[in-house]
Amino acid sequence: MKQVKHVNQAPEGADEKDLFRSDWKEDLDDDNRKKLSRVQRNQKRNFWIPCLVVAIALGGVSLGAAYWMDHKESSNPIVQLQKAEEKQYNDYVNWVNNLEKPADWDDETFETLKTAALNAYSTADLEELNKAVEGDAQAAAKFEGQTEAKVQEPIKQYEDLFNNASSYPANIVALAKDPGLVAFVLEYPNHANDSGTDVTLGDVTQQMPDLKTFDQAWGYVPYRDSIMAISGGAPTVIADVFSYCLDDPTITPLSIARWAKEAGYENNEVSEAEDSIFSGAALTYGVPMIPLALYKTQITDHVSQGYPTIIVTGSYEAPKYYAIDSVDANGQWVAYDPTTSASPVTLDPDTTIDTVIKAYSFW
């Protein structure tokens, strides 16, 4: 005869009052302990089955809600546009960070250009799209009818530079060590073998202009063994001084460079001889000039009296040119450096004088 199971009942031999003792189980024999174990297992099973059912039901609701939300997002054009813009940005950042340095670029130039490339990406649209997704109707209205992330023009220039590095001469790319010249480097393909643009300077009657070799009006023009941006220091400082001395805004680095080529000074700007591009230009343009002895006191005296002064530092093989405009309250020379965006610069006469190989004062 089949034995009847007494489910959820206390085993025989367990007095009801004993159930309140913490050690009442020790009074049970083996059979009753087994019966008690089965009762407890059944109680646990009866507890967990409803819990499992509830958990499955909640999971189904969550999956359904997630599906509904995902379906809702996939049909929202603003959400899709935001995802596309975010992907474009992340892809670009990852591309820049994983670039390999071209063999003929130096590390400093490479890192400067990578930083500039990352900073060039405008996140304005992405920020507005994030607002639109959060419910900002005004932000959403800006993207009405737009279905794709816009390609940013500055980014295309960096992509061209890094993907076609061999098309950019290394000495021109090296200009980008100065962050102020990055834009000049990026524009190089549009100005290769440029002949320059004739321009008129602004007011040169009150202040000597601080002209730059890398101005796009003349910076790409071939000069000496390179281009004006790299090798045009002498014509540029002459234009600084002469346009001011003659109150003539048509005297530019480009016009001086053209004259230097015709007069034979392009490849013989300065030497130990007295004749130089400066003496030749002074004679041609009618600007009085006096060569100065290489003493800091004499240079300081002439500048303090208001005479624009050009100094040549370095060596005759690799000269560097400055146009000194004034002397500051600390006795430092305030000079224009035509090859850098950080100008004017202050030069310490005590240390600079040891590097000066020529000095000329004009009026």
H or E element, residue 360: strand 356-362
pLDDT at 79: 95
- Which whole-number Å values give the CA distances from 259 to 55, 202, 255, 265, 278, in the listed order? 89, 21, 6, 8, 12
Quote the radius of gyration of the chain (alpha carbons, Å): 41
User: How far is residue 182's CA from residue 175's CA, in Å, rounded to a whole number?
Assistant: 7
What pLDDT score does 51 carry? 55
pLDDT in tens, 289-342: 999 999 999 999 999 999 999 999 999 999 999 999 999 999 999 999 999 998
> pTM (2 decimals)?
0.75
Which pLDDT belongs to residue 317?
94
Q: Which two tokens stand for residue 162?
A: 């890094």
Single out the residue of 1, 3, 27, 4 nearest to residue 15, CA to CA.
27
* Residues 6 or more apart in contact with residue 295 via CB below 8 angstroms: 353
At residue 65 the predicted structure's pLDDT band, cuts being 50, 70 and 90, is very low
Angle at 183 (CA atoms; ends 110, 116), nearest 5 degrees = 45
Q: What is the pLDDT of residues 25-58, one digit of tens each?
A: 566 566 666 655 665 555 555 555 555 555 565 6
Categorize the per-residue pLDDT at 193 as very low, low, confident or very high, splitting at 50, 70 and 90. confident
* Highest-scoring range by mean pLDDT, 36-45, 61-70, 95-104: 95-104
∠ CA 305-308-314, rounded to 5°: 120
- How does DSSP assign 66-116, residue by residue? HHHHHHHHHT-HHHHHHHHHHHHHHHHHHHHHT----TTS-HHHHHHHHHH
Band of residue 284 on the pLDDT scale cut at 50, 70, 90: very high
User: Tokens at residue 229, please?
Assistant: 């941006």
